[in-house]
Amino acid sequence: MKASAFVYPWDVNGDPEAPARVAALGVDQVTLAAAYHSTRALTPRHPRHRVVTAEHAAVLYPADARWEGRPLRPYPAGDWAPGDAYGEAAHALADAGLPVHTWVVLAHNSRLGAEHPDTSVVNAYGDRYPWAPCVAQPATRAYLVELAAEAAVRPGAHGTELESLGWYGLAHLHAHDKTAGVALGDAAQYLMSLCFCPDCRAGYAAHGLDPERLARGVRTALEPVWQGSPFDGGGWAGVEKLLGESTANATRAWRDATARTLQEAAVAAVRAAAPDGFQVLLHADPVSYHCGANAGVDPAHVLSVADGVVVPCTGGAGLLTPFAEEGRQGAVLAANFTVVSGMGGRPGTLAEDAARARALGATELRLYHAGLASDGDLAAVRAALARS
């Protein structure tokens, strides 16, 4: 199977050995970050640094004039990725014989939420999630669609992978996170991720719900959770048990339609800006009400819109099955494996894990992350790819 490794520009720029090192893994291409959220990342082999702190979500190239006069616009990177950091790294990787695809993070931006708080998801208690732009708001949607087109179609790129193209909710690896004191199951996570900004309130009303009554219902349903009572129901049946079947399904209808139309618009914008043959993939979860970097999608819909999906498989490759069952000829089903041992990856079993993923329908591999992995992890990846 074709394999691609994720890479940040700061893994490559300033390290003349990095492109050859990535190529030596045996991968067929790289997925290089062009627009990325805030992070603190190790660079275990870089000759000039060991830790890179990206202080806020930013584009890693010079944004063009399309943003002039617009209140919502991408932020330039600081000294962690100055100038055209993406372009510099892409050129070096291409010179090493590695085709480059862009990696674009969209609806995940804490600085946007801090500077434009009205753009954020608001939960039933009135708390804002600054990392999570509400994808129902027209201005936010327009910003995300334009960002997708610009960041995806960088010079020389052969394709793109769009991350966080959907709803983001409560779950978020935030600085000094202290949210694990009460265990929230799948259903409670959904309730805590429902947005009650003005646009979402109007959306619920259009589906026959009273937004105030819905918010009260969410708070009431969650009260036993805060008191420590276990909740038996999981999955969507649990949401229906907490909210009532008709109410739960009305909220999902609003959110699913909102995410689907955003995905359609973003992919269309990328295709309009891209050359022929440009590949467009979405990081995706086949359960449409799920939130996060792997956006919840309807498999049939997303495979009718994009060229394929990148599916998280580190904990098992079962999420591939709903996409494979669609039988979409030529669709890319990329199994994404963490290969950093310190982040829960299992590079030593990559060959076996990849074989299981292939049996479930995977057509390609994604390896997270060539820049973060230790030398030992990379050696295990090289050995696994040599066997596959």
pTM of this structure: 0.97
pLDDT digits (tens, 9 = 90+) for 245-288: 999 999 999 999 999 999 999 999 999 999 999 999 999 999 99
Q: Write down the pLDDT at residue 172.
A: 76
CA distance linking residue 107 with residue 169, whole number of Å: 10
CA distance linking residue 72 with residue 280, whole number of Å: 24
Domains belonging to the chain, first-starting first, are: 2-178+256-387 (3.20.20.80)
Give the amino acid at 366.
Answer: R
Q: Look over the chain and give the mean of its residue pLDDT values, rounded to a whole number.
A: 95
Residue 294 has pLDDT above 70, yes or no: yes
CA distance linking residue 59 with residue 74, whole number of Å: 6
pLDDT digits (tens, 9 = 90+) for 22-63: 999 999 999 999 999 999 999 999 999 999 999 999 999 999
CA 184 from chain center: how many Å? Answer: 21
pLDDT digits (tens, 9 = 90+) for 156-187: 999 999 999 999 999 876 665 655 566 778 89
Q: Write down the pLDDT at residue 257.
A: 98
For 131, the token pair is 């990392």
Q: At what angle do helices 245-273 and 198-206 cross, to 10 degrees?
A: 120
Q: Are 58 and 75 in contact (CB under 8 A)?
A: yes
CA distance linking residue 275 with residue 153, whole number of Å: 9
User: By three-state DSSP, how is residue 50 classified?
Assistant: coil
CA distance linking residue 299 with residue 352, whole number of Å: 26
For 317, the token pair is 């490759």
Neighbours of 152 (CB within 10 A): 28
Nearest Cα to 200, choosing from 310, 120, 269, 130? 120
